[in-house]
Structure 1
Amino acid sequence: MCSKWDSEAGQRGGGARGEHRDGGGPQGRSVQSSVRVSPTREVSILELSLSRPLSAALTLSSPVDPSVTLCPTCSSYHRGWTCLMVYMSQNKHTEARELMCSGALLFFSHGQQNSAADLSMLVLESLEKAEVEVADELLENLAKLFSLMDPNSPERVAFVSRALKWSSGGSGKLGHPRLHQLLALTLWKEQNYCESRYHFLHSADGEGCAHMLVEYSTSRGFRSEVDMFVAQAVLQFLCLKNKSSASVVFTTYTQKHPSIEHGPPFVQPLLNFIWFLLLAVDGGKLTVFTVLCEQYQPSLRRDPMYNEYLDRIGQLFFGVPPKQTSSYGGLLGNLLSSLMGASEQEGEDSQDDSSPIELD
């Protein structure tokens, strides 16, 4: 990859390789670029990198191990940057992204976390600038970069937020379901169950969510709460109008959890309520829903959020008119608004949650 572009640069006489070769090194010499930056708009990292000296093409957050090259075919770090600059100057976005990804993976493998994170953000910037359409391979690449980042780094938070925004394709939704699934699986492996649960809610992987919840319940929860883990997940899936995943997560969880006897019916009343609720949602009869909620109030009072979720479910599936005002304010009110219908005009497949809902 790099030898091809080095050759072409050398033939131009004043290209990137020629400047790197003459004068004893890359310091202080600029890579030639056809990119013109308008002073009236914000300058991106990529555009800045094309107009700066090669040694400062990107201000990395930590010292770079000189043995690390940007890609396996480049003999040095700076030659790798030369290849990248040539690709970008000729709008070879695909080739540049491949080089950025391989460079980021190499930095991660050498423990260069900050430098790898910088390159990962450049990958996202390239996807945005080139208006690349979402594809499974790209989502898997982004998820791979995410999985290698330090879980406690602020760069990881910024990366995942930007990746989800790009994957939404400008639709205003909260990211592609496949990317949410991949992120959820990574967070599950890290035993970050709360964040994993949030991303599972926005994926189509009800079965994976159920298996994660079984592990979460058995490792972190009380035995008396085994029914509450799945009940909250089912109610939130229904609030997001995802009946299919709600049914799958309930069936899988109740079959796989070692503390739940096979049913239905179940020993735990709350599980019976959820089972009846899923049947009622399919039927759509308001009287059945109303009687069900009344009969199971003792179980529903175990968590004050249950009735709030059920109010929303009543609106979505049974034609119950929405409340005029919310009885909650502040942070809790914001969480409810984001989960339970801040945007009424979304379509049947809308998923309009914008912040994680943690288990109590």
Structure 2
Amino acid sequence: MSRERPRRGTLPPAQEHIDKLAKVVEGGNCYGAQQMYKSISARYASAQRYSEALDILQAGACIQLEHGQVTCGAELAVLFVETLVKGKVPYDDETLDRARKIYEKFPRIPIAALNLTEDQDIQQLSEAIGAAKTRVEGCSSFLKAAIKWSAEFGGPRNGSPDLYVMLAEYVYSESPEVDIPRVSYYFVRGSDPHKFASVLVNFMSKCYPGEDDLAIARAVLMYLSLSNLRDANQLIEEIKKQVEHEEHDFPQSDLIQFITFLLETLQRDAFPLFNMLRVKYKSSLDREPAFNELLDEIAEKFYGVRRRNPMQGMFGEIFKMMGEMQ
């Protein structure tokens, strides 16, 4: 015999469950509450009362994260997005704000802030690194699911820029090891070059010598490969303002010189000059293999130059896969 669908009238207001489950979590039974959040929200979703199912999942994710239960909170956060999809909830500012409220509850405990010394137990450091990875993986899973939802239900074609900025911020601040190409991949799909500039300036203050100009060039080329000349220029200006304010030096190298000339060149129809720059600064560009791939994409976007080599696109696909998988 098939199970009957719950009738809408048989379910009480969601707030009753939210209040009861909050007490369960506060009483220390986080795992037990987790199972109830999942089962009860599923009943509301089955009854097509998606708004209340979302209320329950949002409340559950937030309170679990507030209590440091990252795995439980992240699981409920992902279920929140899955319910958005099931309910075919359109992307709008209100729903984006709900996702942001969940995001803001993810703990922020940078490894550098732990002040661990060489005399402390190695196990303590290992546990801290493991916890950081769990936070990043949990938050990333939630935000990537939300980005996919936003792209499929009325948001920008490539996903919400606001969600990309959240993802970039969290990955940068919480990852045990800074992966600036990955962070840049997310930021250039966002809408906040000012914040991106702040992250790059922070990175420049602690990176190895020779990594600062690479980070700036990579960020600019990534923007340009997306046809975003405006934010590429704004990023450079913001970095210059911020390093001057902090009384640091803006990197001076052949690679930075190339980027400066490139930004000027792309503002006019000057494809021969574009090619001349690539030849002149070849040794600098060869410092990172992906740069030439990005420049091929830029040539295609700005000058309509089709690629002749079918193997081209490899590094672009690597960046794409990196964003999807990590």
2:147 to 141, 144, 164: 164
Q: For residue 85 of structure 1, report the CA deviation from its aligned partner.
A: 6.4
Q: Which residue of 2 aligns with 1:67?
A: 27
Are the aligned partners of 1:68 and 1:107 in contact in 2 as well (CA < 8 Å)?
A: no
2:81 to 115, 124, 134: 124
Distance 2:59 2:42 in 1: 15
1:284-303, CA deviations, whole angstroms, 9 ceiling, x for partnerless residues? 21122122222323432333
Q: Which residue of 1 aligns with 2:231?
A: 245
Deviates more, 1:250-259 or 1:280-289: 250-259
1:275 has 2:260 as partner: yes
The alignment yields a C-alpha RMSD, in angstroms, of 3.6
The percentage of aligned residue pairs carrying the same residue is 26
1:210 has 2:177 as partner: no
Q: TM-score, normalised by structure 2?
A: 0.70
With over 3 angstroms needed to count, the CA separation of the structure-2 counterparts of 1:137 and 1:256, relative to structure 1, is same
1:255 to 238, 241, 247: 241
2:310 to 322, 325, 336: 325
The amino acid across from 1:355 in the alignment is M
The amino acid across from 2:152 in the alignment is G
More helix by share: 2
Q: For residue 215 of structure 1, report the CA deviation from its aligned partner.
A: 0.7
The amino acid across from 2:7 in the alignment is S
Within a 5 Å distance, the mapping from 1:192-211 to structure 2 comes to 192=178, 194=180, 195-211=182-198
Unaligned runs of 5+ in 1: 1-29, 36-49, 51-63, 71-75, 340-352
**May I ask how many residue pairs the two structures share in their alignment?**
273
1:135 has 2:92 as partner: yes
Q: For residue 68 of structure 1, report the CA deviation from its aligned partner.
A: 6.0
Q: Which residue of 1 aligns with 2:21?
A: none
Distance 1:157 1:126 in 2: 18
Distance 1:83 1:325 in 2: 52
Deviates more, 1:101-110 or 1:187-196: 187-196
Are the aligned partners of 1:237 and 1:245 in contact in 2 as well (CA < 8 Å)?
A: yes
Within a 5 Å distance, the mapping from 1:286-301 to structure 2 comes to 286-301=271-286
Q: Which residue of 1 aligns with 2:122?
A: none
With over 3 angstroms needed to count, the CA separation of the structure-2 counterparts of 1:354 and 1:242, relative to structure 1, is farther
The amino acid across from 1:204 in the alignment is S
Are the aligned partners of 1:234 and 1:249 in contact in 2 as well (CA < 8 Å)?
A: yes
Q: Which residue of 2 aligns with 1:152?
A: 133
- What SS is found at the alignment partner of 2:164? helix
1:33 has 2:6 as partner: yes
With over 3 angstroms needed to count, the CA separation of the structure-2 counterparts of 1:121 and 1:290, relative to structure 1, is closer
The amino acid across from 1:177 in the alignment is P
- What SS is found at the alignment partner of 1:131? coil
1:259-291, CA deviations, whole angstroms, 9 ceiling, x for partnerless residues? 435xxxx84232221111111111021122122
1:85-107, CA deviations, whole angstroms, 9 ceiling, x for partnerless residues? 67445432212212221122112
Distance 1:99 1:250 in 2: 44
The amino acid across from 1:162 in the alignment is A
The amino acid across from 2:292 in the alignment is N
1:43-90, CA deviations, whole angstroms, 9 ceiling, x for partnerless residues? xxxxxxx9xxxxxxxxxxxxx7572699xxxxx999988975674454
Distance 2:35 2:282 in 1: 67
Deviates more, 1:168-177 or 1:276-285: 168-177
Distance 1:207 1:143 in 2: 19
- What SS is found at the alignment partner of 2:292? helix
1:304 has 2:281 as partner: no
Are the aligned partners of 1:226 and 1:259 in contact in 2 as well (CA < 8 Å)?
A: no
Are the aligned partners of 1:121 and 1:159 in contact in 2 as well (CA < 8 Å)?
A: yes
Are the aligned partners of 2:198 and 2:239 in contact in 1 as well (CA < 8 Å)?
A: yes
Q: For residue 327 of structure 1, report the CA deviation from its aligned partner.
A: 6.4
